[in-house]
A = this chain, B = another copy of it.
Amino acid sequence: MAATIFDVAKRAGVSIGTVSRVINNRDRVHPETRERVLQAIRDLDYHANALARGLASQQTATLGLVIPQVNDPFFFQVVRGVEEAASAANYSLLIASQSRLPASERRYLHLFRRGHVDAMVLASIEVHAHEVQEIVEQGIPVVLVQLDIGRNIPTFLADNYGGGRAMAEHLVVEHQYRRVAYITGTDHTPDNRERLRALRDVLHENGLDLPGEYVVEGDYLRDSGYRAMQRLLELPTLPDAVFAANDQMAIDAMMAIREHGLSVPDDIAVVGFDDLPLASYVSPPLTTVHQPVYELGWHAGQMALEIIHTQGDRSALAAPNKLLLPTSPVIRRSCGC
């Protein structure tokens, strides 16, 4: 059996209270006593039981992370970011992927209800504002990633609008494309909407229009870009450039164009959003917008830790609660450069 604090106390000839103070660097302990305790800890290879500690102190040194069930390397980057922030602070990371169950059965809510975590990071999941509110009201800090529910909750977002603008300007101003089409992601997600808004704004500012038939619906997933592109290719006036809401669809769109006997970028330019590793390997290499995914995760984890450590200190909550991380266009070949 593993050694307990009791064993350490006995060996060092002190009470468990003293051992606890040594472990936690609390109050003052006589240097000699401290050394004796530390020696006993070494001798017994003692490691404090995390559960007992959590129960007694009401702190678990654990962060909860909820991600969608989708199989997307995107989220792995978020996971890595949060994990590294957590482990650098000696916190553990408890992961839950959002299940398809109805809200009443959502397991991830148990994470906090059961006192399992000190804070939660929710990444691009479907969640109701009142659910989040409930968590926060129970005293568990929540940080959101790529997900905005419009309450006063710390939120980390990639700058979708800014990235979308930069890309749109690249197409419209530098390349002088005149008929730009857009393949949407899932309609309700804010990232998709921001990217579309950016394109529309840039077009307007340049005296151009985004006709309804140039906005075709996709869902971010494989194939949907292909089908969307097919619809565009049936139009009487073909676009000269296509902005897809993510790389996956952009790549599928390129396929559709090629199968249609046209060339990318000579006949139709194609650009995406995300900068998947994949983007640089397709041919032509995809021009896209880089998203700081790892950084989103890292900052979110960091923020969660900060809030934990300033609990009750209301002034801390006055910090900006919506942070945009910069996105940057990655110019390759598919735009015509």
Whether, in the assembled complex, A312 has its beta carbon less than 8 Å from a beta carbon of chain B, the answer is: no
A51-B116 contact in complex given A79-B76, A282-B282, C-beta closer than 8 Å = yes
- Taking CB atoms, residues of chain B closer than 8 Å to A294 are 71
Contact check: which of B2, B107, B277 meets A87 at CB < 8 Å? B107
19 A–B contact pairs at CB < 8 A? A47-B110, A50-B114, A50-B116, A51-B114, A71-B76, A71-B80, A79-B79, A83-B97, A87-B96, A87-B97, A87-B107, A92-B96, A93-B94, A93-B96, A94-B94, A94-B95, A251-B281, A281-B281, A283-B283
| Shortest CB distance A99–B (Å) | 7
Name the residue in A62, A77, A115, A294 with the highest tally of chain B Cβ atoms < 10 Å from its Cβ: A115
- Taking CB atoms, residues of chain B closer than 8 Å to A71 are 76-77, 80, 294
A 24-68 binary contact with B (CB < 8 Å = 1; else 0): 000000000000000000000001111110110000101000000
Whether, in the assembled complex, A315 has its beta carbon less than 8 Å from a beta carbon of chain B, the answer is: no
Q: Are B50 and A2 in contact (CB under 8 A)?
A: no
| Shortest CB distance A222–B (Å) | 8
Q: Are B282 and A50 in contact (CB under 8 A)?
A: no
- A248 closest partner in B (C-beta): B277
- Taking CB atoms, residues of chain B closer than 8 Å to A278 are 277-278, 281
How many angstroms from the CA of A97 to the CA of B87 in the assembled complex? 9
Q: Are A92 and B115 in contact (CB under 8 A)?
A: no
- Taking CB atoms, residues of chain B closer than 8 Å to A107 are 87, 90
How many angstroms from the CA of A96 to the CA of B107 in the assembled complex? 21
Whether, in the assembled complex, A75 has its beta carbon less than 8 Å from a beta carbon of chain B, the answer is: yes
| Shortest CB distance A125–B (Å) | 14
Q: Are B92 and A92 in contact (CB under 8 A)?
A: no
Q: Are A2 and B113 in contact (CB under 8 A)?
A: yes
- A53 closest partner in B (C-beta): B114
How many angstroms from the CA of A281 to the CA of B277 in the assembled complex? 12
Q: Are A51 and B54 in contact (CB under 8 A)?
A: yes
Q: Are B282 and A115 in contact (CB under 8 A)?
A: no
Given contacts A47-B110, A49-B114, A73-B76, 5 further A-B contacts (CB under 8 A): A47-B114, A51-B51, A51-B55, A79-B95, A87-B107
Name the residue in A2, A50, A73 with the highest tally of chain B Cβ atoms < 10 Å from its Cβ: A50
- Taking CB atoms, residues of chain B closer than 8 Å to A99 are 87
Whether, in the assembled complex, A138 has its beta carbon less than 8 Å from a beta carbon of chain B, the answer is: yes
A 88-132 binary contact with B (CB < 8 Å = 1; else 0): 001011111101000000010011011110000000000000000
Contact check: which of B76, B90, B281 meets A75 at CB < 8 Å? B76
How many angstroms from the CA of A251 to the CA of B283 in the assembled complex? 12
